[in-house]
Homo-oligomer: A and B are copies of this chain.
Amino acid sequence: MTSLNRKNLKAWLGEAVSMADRSRELILESVRTGFEHTLKDDGTFVTDVDTSVETALRARILESFPEHGIIGEELNDVNPDADFVWTIDPIDGTQSFRHRIPLYGTIISLLHHDIPVLGVIDLPALGIRCSGALGEGAFCGDEQLRIEDLGDDQAIEREIIAAGERKQFVGIGKEYVFDEIMHAHPSVRTYCDCFGHVMALLGSVGAMVDFNLHVWDSAATEVLVKEAGGKHVRLFEDRRGGRDVRYDVVFGKPRVVDWLLERIR
- A: residues with CB less than 8 A from B are 95-96, 99-102, 125-126, 160, 165-167, 170, 182-183, 186-190, 192, 199, 202, 204-205
Known: A95-B160, A187-B95. A101 touches B205 (CB 8 A): yes
Determine how close the nearest CB of chain B comes to the CB of A242; give it in whole angstroms.
Answer: 27
Do A187 and B165 have beta carbons less than 8 Å apart? yes
| Nearest CB on B from A132, distance (A) | 19
Copies in the complex: 2
Please give, as numbers and ranges, the residues of chain B lying within 8 Å of A102 by CB-CB distance: 126
Instruction: Report chain B residues within 8 Å CB of A100.
Output: 202, 204
**Chain B, Cβ-Cβ closest to A186:** B167
Report yes or no: A188 in contact with B190, Cβ–Cβ below 8 A. Answer: yes
CB distance from A44 to the nearest CB of B (A): 10
The answer to whether A187 touches B167, judged by C-beta atoms less than 8 angstroms apart, is yes
Residue of B nearest to A160 (CB): B99
Cβ contacts under 8 Å, A96 to chain B: 160
Contact B182 A166 (CB under 8 A): yes
Cα of A188 to Cα of B179 in the assembled complex, Å: 13
In the complex the two chains form, is A189's CB within 8 Å of B190's CB? yes
Query: A142 to nearest B CB, angstroms?
Result: 14
Please tell me if the beta carbons of A204 and B99 are within 8 angstroms of each other in the complex: yes
Q: How far is the CB of A260 from chain B (nearest CB, A)?
A: 16
Measured in the bound complex, the distance between the Cα atoms of B190 and A188 in whole Å is: 8
Is B101 touching A199 in the complex (CB atoms < 8 A)? Answer: yes
Q: A99-B204, A165-B186 are in contact. List 9 more A-B contacts (CB 8 A).
A: A95-B160, A95-B187, A100-B204, A101-B199, A126-B126, A165-B188, A167-B186, A167-B187, A189-B190
Report yes or no: B204 in contact with A101, Cβ–Cβ below 8 A: yes
Give me 19 A-to-B residue pairs in the complex whose CB atoms sit less than 8 angstroms apart, sorted by A's number. A95-B160, A95-B187, A99-B204, A99-B205, A100-B204, A101-B199, A101-B204, A102-B126, A126-B126, A165-B186, A165-B189, A166-B182, A166-B183, A166-B186, A167-B186, A170-B186, A182-B182, A189-B190, A190-B190
